[in-house]
Amino acid sequence: MMVGKVSEPRREKAIARDIRVLAQFISLFCRENHGEAPRSALRADGILKKYLAGKAPELCIECRRLLLHGAVKRALCPHDPKPRCKKCPDHCYAPGYRERIRGVMRFSGMHLIRRGRLDLLRKLLF
């Protein structure tokens, strides 16, 4: 029996949850900051299909790229359980994307706090 198999459903669930949160944060950011930009749903293929198919939010092209990048990195994260990105020894985001995702997390986190949606924030940040 393969040792890794035992924890596979738990790992899959964690990845799915994190990618859902990522999509929600980017979606909120995009709606509030790129309202004028043309938007469409991310077409998820390959390893991301099962996590995003039918659930991908409508985003501008820059935010679609960011979500795609973040989702791939999350799905391929070699650490299990995944540490918080801030604490991780490997910074796996490509240059530029890391700053952008931090900006998105800060904005959307603050947005939820200002709107009194601490409940949602807590749920999203586990």
Site of interaction with Zn ion (CB under 5 A): 30, 34, 60, 63
The residue among 83, 88, 56, 86 whose CA lies nearest residue 71 is 56
Label residues 15-30 b or e (16+ Cβ within 10 Å = b). bbebbebbbebbbbbb
The least CB distance from residue 67 to Zn ion, in Å, is 9
Residue (60 or 85) nearer to Zn ion, CB: 60
The least CB distance from residue 64 to Zn ion, in Å, is 8
Q: For the chain, first and last CA: distance in Å?
A: 31
The least CB distance from residue 55 to Zn ion, in Å, is 17
Residue (14 or 72) nearer to Zn ion, CB: 72
Question: Bridge-partner residues for 45, per DSSP?
Answer: none
Residue (83 or 96) nearer to Zn ion, CB: 96
The residue among 57, 80, 65, 89 whose CA lies nearest residue 10 is 80
Residue (42 or 60) nearer to Zn ion, CB: 60
The least CB distance from residue 33 to Zn ion, in Å, is 6
